[in-house]
Amino acid sequence: MSTELPEPPSKIELKAGVGGGGEIPTFNITLRVRRYLPETTAEAYWEDFKLTMYGTDRVLDALHKVKWDHDGSLSFRRSCAHGICGSDAMRINGRNRLACKTLLKDLDTSKPITVEAIKGLPLEKDLIVDMEPFFQSYREIMPFLISKGHEPTKERYQSVEDRERFDDTTKCILCAACTSSCPVFWTDGQYFGPAAIVNAHRFIFDSRDDAGDMRLEILNDKEGVWRCRTTFNCTEACPRGIQVTKAIAEVKQAILSRTV
Amino acid sequence: MQVHQYDVVIVGAGGAGMRAAIESGQRARTAVLTKLYPTRSHTGAAQGGMCAALANVEEDNWEWHTFDTIKGGDYIVDQDAAEVMAKEAINAVLDLEKMGLPFNRTPEGKIDQRRFGGHTRDHGKAAVRRACYAADRTGHMILQTLYQNCVKHNVEFYNEYYVLDLLMVEEEAFREDGTAYMQKRVAGVVSYDLATGELHVFQAKSVIFASGGAGKVFKTTSNAHTLTGDGMGIAFRSGLPLEDMEFFQFHPTGLAGLGILLTEGARGEGAILRNSDGERFMERYAPTIKDLAPRDIVARAMANEVREGRGCGPNKDYVLLDLTHLEPEHIESKLPDITEFARTYLGVEPFTDPVPVYPTAHYAMGGVPTNIETEVLQDNNTTIPGLFAAGEVACVSVHGANRLGTNSLLDINVFGRRAGIAAAEYAKTADFVELPENPEALVTAQLDGLLNSTGTENVAELRKALQEIMDANVQVFRDETSLKGALEVIESLRERYKNVSIQDKGKRFNLDLLEAVELGFLLDLAEVMTTAALHRKESRGGHYREDFPNRDDENFMVHSMSYRDHNATTEGIAGIRMETKPVVFTRYQPMERKY
Amino acid sequence: MSVTIPAPRSQRIDPKYKRGPKSRGSFEMLAWLFMRLSGVALIVLIFGHLISNLIVGDGINAISFGFVAGKWADPIWQFWDLAMLWLAMLHGTNGVRTIINDYAEKHSTRAWLKGILYVATIFIVVLGTLVIFTFDPCVAGSTLPQC
Amino acid sequence: MSKTSSGTLYRGHEGMWSWVGHRVTGVVIFLYLLVHVLDTALVRVDANAYNAVISTYQTPWMALGETGLVAAILFHAFNGLRLILVDFWKQGTKYQRQMLWGVMILWVVVFAGFAIRHLSLAFGGH
Ligand SMILES: Cc1cc2nc3c(=O)[nH]c(=O)nc-3n(C[C@H](O)[C@H](O)[C@H](O)COP(=O)(O)OP(=O)(O)OC[C@H]3O[C@@H](n4cnc5c(N)ncnc54)[C@H](O)[C@@H]3O)c2cc1C
Ligand code: HEM
Ligand code: SF4
Ligand code: F3S
Ligand code: FES
């Protein structure tokens, strides 16, 4: 396809241990889960599970092990199991992560691994929160392309640079790890939150879009970008590596240069 | 129980479901029922691209695309459907662009295109750049763009509503030749609200099934945990046929043990496969194109290496994808996802160490049979008024025995759109079909049975046993013994399933209960897949029988149609009736599939 | 089961998350901008203040009525302290206002706290301004030579 | 009303803790400022009274308090500059962490200088 490469050797020496045989390393962990079963107990509580896990197991595998082998009532959302659907954002050892992207061996397995629901959204059961307020904020920033004038018959043109301008914020999977890590969002839940701003950014800086002004107006609200106190929790939490705080800063600048 | 009334109800909010919703939502009162939040659907996992003969970067036309699709599907593709898809592909891509999808661009600012396996210029002369893409996140962008447009058009979503039953009535009707038959008509669906545990019946003039695939029948799969073939299972239980269920695509390079997909692009960029001796074994299986042979051939070669004891790792159950001879910057720029997956999930640094890979169950070519208007068939020629299907759950059939890369994202857009329009148009003229009495009775009985069961069997255990036997016996190599062995296990699991119990007895977010329900669908589908595979005594595309290694056009150039029928027995399995459906030919005659 | 729990989700959004009416104008933006501009100015003002009062000469020990009187004899220092007073108070008040907005969830609590804050601020700013402008070195108890 | 998750304290990174620090110091300075304006206002009332109050500032305990206050002001000021850079400098968000280390270093250096001078004055007496 692209570069011509020298033909690789048909046979190579493999490093020891790669070729075959050997054991899969196992290790023991304690998974400390914040349980909340509103139908049986009014209060949330911690429950420990002692598990034997293998090589490259992730926190999601540990949760599955509990659900499938120990306690079927443990509830959590998950789907893709490789970090692209955004179902399983949760607080692991105190920080927001995706359970399916967090390898157990990267955590300190000598201490219990704590797992709890993300903060700031209504808790429904165990690790499940009500996502509706989160999506409501997302919908409010008009997350869709709006263009004036005639529909082109073929595609709209866009230069490679213009496309690159908003690439980072197109990666968002709406997992809410950012918004639910934001200390401002925890306070009263009114703040639009980083995820909504990220998705507004994706359109504000898309050269094909004509409604940037409207979105800037929406985010110029008292619950908009100005509530961000640049604590960077969102950027650190984002499993897609989006530079969330940077995107927020860019939206702030855009509002400033529009009004001033 | 609550009853709702809509003109159109769409089951599933993946690419196909939301593409349909955008059309139907603007024409009729539409509700979308989905067991996942729309943006969690597995369409978001697709990486490579979506092809259309835009000819933005080099000469191309839809007719060549049609040919590639038919040949790729080993000629068991319905050619009228393939033509429709290739022709409408161009507008499908342009529509997405107009909706805002951020495609990668050429230096002139047009949608960029790249090569993909099996897509060729002028009937196989050379590879052609046909796949439109957005980095290695094409599926993600499609899913997001479609959801965004659903928000724009105020589509009504019922999130985390599991559809568990399809409501149909039967009435006597007469064919043109005067013979009587039972015509099915759709009345609505029954769904379970995960948050409250309540049943909601949706009465609808039109119902579109867009509930995606069934990869979880297998252990190693690139599919999500939630892809349990519910739509196919519901259709089958309601007496509808399933078409071509023996054809399942196994993608060669899934991360070993996990199944997470590493795109074909890796080998395109020069990565090669090695066994435990460090040998580049594809030199033996496909001496000319080696590692770039078609998916099914590579997958079989890999499985064979492992079978013959040259697998790697503690259990000698995978081979290695070697990128170490490539320039790190090159890998990083072209294959960022691969390197990240390998690092995150296996802790392997692909620059210095080879990555463990094994074929992974990827795509169900078969499904609920439809015609090119996406109307569901109740038998070879009778459509069901008001019932539509699109996406991976359906079988139009454009993928035949083997789907070409990038044709599925296309499928969901082209046929999703068609389904949305057709369903809304139908709803404009049709009346509601009266709901049967106690429409929820079947589901209530099923759920109560599980909730009150005092059985001793465990859902996870049964599912594991099923997935393991499917991986072992119904994967890339099949023969009579392996398939019969699998069926035996499946039958015993079905027996044990009657005795499962669950631990969570609550009403809120009872995923324990739903996993049990999903297992029921998986068992049904595994049985159908295996029986159909046993029935097809030839090798074609993704279906490879070691006891019948050749394609047999004389006897098997037909689609298979599996029905649930309590009076029938197929291959020793009671309750399944196997029929055939002719393949539609327009202008391409079967040839040997050679690359 | 004794606990009654509200039905979750299903279009029903907890009032806590319902955003109030859109705010008009760009007050929050101006406040944000003011925090930054006043911050920069305050660095100069406060550092100057600290250096002249606590570092040079005898530092804290030199401070007395006479010291203040000496400083305010110079209009530059008068202006300096006035600017510092106003900027610091507005900066601080706006800062505390955001903090109240963050943590006081009930509308009435918010209103009360902010009311107290604003009254205090106005009082302090008016008081401080009057003191600087009407400063009289010969107030009661003054031992300064000029009196 | 449904509840949100309680449980452990969120273990943020540098950005979060520096914000906590900024907020706490901001409030502390503000409260001090209120008092400080009041006591300074005494110059308008009675010179002796002012001197009496100021002399309490010159006791060792108050000197320690003053030192703490200056520590707070210095941190708030330097971190405030960092925040301004985060907002207005293009590379600000990228280097926020490094800038925080810069703030801490600057803070330690300036504060040490101040503390030595101030405390030796306050404790050294006349
Ligand atoms: C890893 C991976 C990579 C791929 N890469 C490519 C590629 O590069 N190019 C390409 O063309 N194709 C690719 N494919 C294939 C393609 O992505 C899928 O076939 C396609 O996205 C399926 O879309 P869908 O809309 O039919 O289903 P999905 O996107 O799977 O959506 C199914 C929907 O149905 C809902 N649902 C399911 N069951 C129920 C129920 N019982 N009740 C209510 N709702 C239900 C779900 O909630 C979901 O919303 C890839 C597939 C995988 C797994
Ligand atoms: C010395 C120079 C100062 C600088 C550079 C400075 C800078 C800043 C900045 C930039 C902010 C905004 C933070 C944000 O929006 O996230 C801020 C907030 C604040 N400042 Fe200052 N400030 C200074 C002095 C003061 C003084 C003297 C006071 C007290 C009167 C004060 C009290 C506050 C308060 C209470 C906040 C709000 C904190 C928050 O919302 O978390 N600051 N400061
Ligand atoms: S910005 Fe990142 S953390 Fe936030 S929702 Fe999107 S992907 Fe998740
Ligand atoms: S965590 Fe919150 S405060 Fe701003 S930088 Fe991120 S939105
Ligand atoms: S399960 Fe999909 S992101 Fe983790």
pLDDT digits (tens, 9 = 90+) for B221-262: 999 999 999 999 999 999 999 999 999 999 999 998 889 998
B207 closest CA partner among B380, B1, B31, B440: B31
Between A125 and C53, where is the model more confident? A125
Give the CA distances from residue B484 to residues B304, B524, B540, B549, in Å, rounded to whole numbers and listed in that order.
20, 16, 19, 18
Residue recorded with tokens 């089951």? B11
Question: Packing angle between helix C65-72 and helix D47-57, nearest 10 degrees?
Answer: 110
* Nearest bound ligand to the CA of residue A173: 3
pLDDT at C55 over 70: yes
Q: Does ligand 5 come within 6 angstroms of the Cβ of A102?
A: no
Out of B115, B129, B130, B295, pick the active-site residue. Answer: B295
Contacts of A5 in chain B (CB under 8 A): 270, 325-326
Choose the closest CB to A42 out of C3, C8, C29. C3
Residue A156 dihedral angles phi and psi, to the nearest 5°: -75, 145
Does residue A213 sit in the same domain as residue A232?
A: yes
Mean pLDDT score, A79-107: 95
Does residue A155 sit in the same domain as residue A250?
A: yes
Output the pLDDT for position D6. 67
B410 closest CA partner among B34, B38, B72, B11: B72
Tell me what percent of the residues of chain B surpass a pLDDT of 90: 82
D121 touches chain C (CB under 8 A): yes
Hey, which residues 38-97 in chain B have their CB within 8 Å of chain A?
39-42, 44-45, 93-94, 97
Output the pLDDT for position B344. 85
| Cβ contact A163–B102 (<8 Å) | yes
CB-based burial label for A48 (10 Å; 0-12, 13-18, 19+): exposed
pLDDT at B217 over 50: yes
Does residue A111 sit in the same domain as residue A156?
A: no
Q: Which residues pair with A92 in a beta bridge?
A: A95, A115
C108 touches chain A (CB under 8 A): no
Contact B391, B17 (CB under 8 A): yes
* Residue finishing a domain among A110, A129, A148: A129
Q: Tell me if A199 is assigned to some domain.
A: yes
Q: Tell me if A99 is assigned to some domain.
A: yes
Q: Mean pLDDT for chain D? A: 89
In the sheet with B573-582, reading across from the earlier edge strand, the strands are B242-243, B558-570, B573-582
Contacts of A220 in chain C (CB under 8 A): 26, 28-29
pLDDT digits (tens, 9 = 90+) for B508-533: 999 999 999 999 999 999 999 999 99
Mean pLDDT score, B15-40: 97
Does residue A51 sit in the same domain as residue A155?
A: no
Mean pLDDT score, B289-303: 86
Output the pLDDT for position A19. 57
Please confirm whether the linkage preceding B397 is cis (ω < 30° from 0).
yes
CATH for A79 = 3.10.20.30
Helices (H), A108-206: 132-140, 160-165, 183-188, 194-204
In whole angstroms, give the CA distance from residue B471 to residue B245.
16
pLDDT at A21 over 60: no
**pTM exceeds 0.80, yes or no:** yes
**Ligand 4 atom with least separation from CA of D19:** 3
Domains delineated in chain B: 255-358 (3.90.700.10), 438-580 (1.20.58.100)
C65 closest CA partner among D122, D41, D67, D117: D41
Contacts of A190 in chain C (CB under 8 A): 16-17, 19-20
pLDDT digits (tens, 9 = 90+) for D44-63: 888 888 988 888 888 888 88
* Residue finishing a domain among A85, A112, A129: A129
Say whether B409 counts as a known binding-site residue. yes
| Cβ contact B40–A156 (<8 Å) | no
**Ligand 2 atom with least separation from CA of D29:** 29
Q: Tell me if C5 is assigned to some domain.
A: no
ipTM: 0.93
CB-based burial label for C135 (10 Å; 0-12, 13-18, 19+): middle
pLDDT digits (tens, 9 = 90+) for A143-152: 999 998 777 8
pLDDT at C1 over 50: no
Residue recorded with tokens 């499940």? A128
Q: Tell me if A170 is assigned to some domain.
A: yes
Does residue A27 sit in the same domain as residue A121?
A: yes
Output the pLDDT for position A23. 64
Mean pLDDT score, B68-83: 95
| Cβ contact A130–C16 (<8 Å) | no
Does residue A107 sit in the same domain as residue A145?
A: no
pLDDT digits (tens, 9 = 90+) for B372-399: 999 999 999 999 999 999 999 999 999 9
Mean pLDDT score, A122-133: 94
Give the CA distances from residue D62 to residues B512, D110, D120, D122, in Å, rounded to whole numbers and listed in that order.
64, 20, 14, 9
Contact B363, B249 (CB under 8 A): yes
Does residue A147 sit in the same domain as residue A62?
A: no
**Residues constituting chain B:** 595
Contacts of A144 in chain B (CB under 8 A): 99-100, 148-149, 151-152
Query: Following DSSP, what letter does each residue of D26-57 receive, concatenated?
Result: HHHHHHHHHHHHHHHHGGGT-HHHHHHHHHHH
CATH for A204 = 1.10.1060.10
Q: How many CB atoms lie within 10 A of CB B452?
A: 10
A17 pLDDT band, cuts 50/70/90, is low
Residue B340: both structure tokens together: 């990240």
| Cβ contact D46–C16 (<8 Å) | no
Whole-number Å distance, alpha carbon A117 to ligand 1 midpoint, is 27
Which residues of B fall below an 8 Å CB-CB distance to C?
159-160, 193, 195-196, 508
Output the pLDDT for position B57. 93
B289 pLDDT band, cuts 50/70/90, is confident
Output the pLDDT for position A214. 93
Residue A38's Cβ-side half-sphere holds a number of Cα atoms within 13 Å equal to 24
Q: Tell me if C6 is assigned to some domain.
A: no
Output the pLDDT for position A1. 42
In whole angstroms, give the CA distance from residue D121 to residue D126.
8
| Cβ contact D88–C36 (<8 Å) | yes
Choose the closest CB to B346 out of A39, A56, A152. A56
CATH for C79 = 1.20.1300.10
Tell me what percent of the residues of chain A surpass a pLDDT of 70: 94
pLDDT at A20 over 60: no
Tally the domains of chain C: 1
pLDDT at B105 over 80: yes
D25 pLDDT band, cuts 50/70/90, is very high
Whole-number Å distance, alpha carbon B408 to ligand 1 midpoint, is 9
Output the pLDDT for position C11. 54
Kindly identify which residue of chain A lies nearest to residue B324, measuring between CA atoms: A8
pLDDT at C21 over 80: no
Name the amino acid, one letter, at C50.
Answer: L
**Domain extent for A247:** 132-259
Contacts of D121 in chain C (CB under 8 A): 54, 58-61
Q: Which residues line ligand 2 (CB under 6 A)?
A: A 229-230; C 35-36, 39, 42-43, 46, 88, 91-92, 95-96, 98-99; D 22-23, 26-27, 29-30, 33, 73, 76-77, 80-81, 83-84
pLDDT digits (tens, 9 = 90+) for B43-67: 999 988 999 999 999 999 999 999 9
D2 pLDDT band, cuts 50/70/90, is very low
| Cβ contact C8–B508 (<8 Å) | yes
**Domain extent for C61:** 33-134
Residues 6+ apart with CB under 8 A from C57: none
pLDDT at B288 over 80: no
Whole-number Å distance, alpha carbon A239 to ligand 5 midpoint, is 10
Domains delineated in chain D: 13-122 (1.20.1300.10)
Tally the domains of chain A: 2
Mean pLDDT score, B354-374: 96
In whole angstroms, give the CA distance from residue B325 to residue B322.
8
| Cβ contact A116–D5 (<8 Å) | yes
A13 touches chain B (CB under 8 A): yes
Q: Which is it for the CA torsion B569, B570, B572, B574, positive or negative? A: negative
* Nearest bound ligand to the CA of residue A242: 3
Output the pLDDT for position B332. 75
The number of angstroms, rounded, from the C-alpha of A253 to the middle of its chain's C-alpha atoms is 25
In whole angstroms, give the CA distance from residue B368 to residue B374.
10
Mean pLDDT score, A27-46: 94
Whole-number Å distance, alpha carbon B41 to ligand 1 midpoint, is 6
Does residue A96 sit in the same domain as residue A139?
A: no
pLDDT at B41 over 60: yes
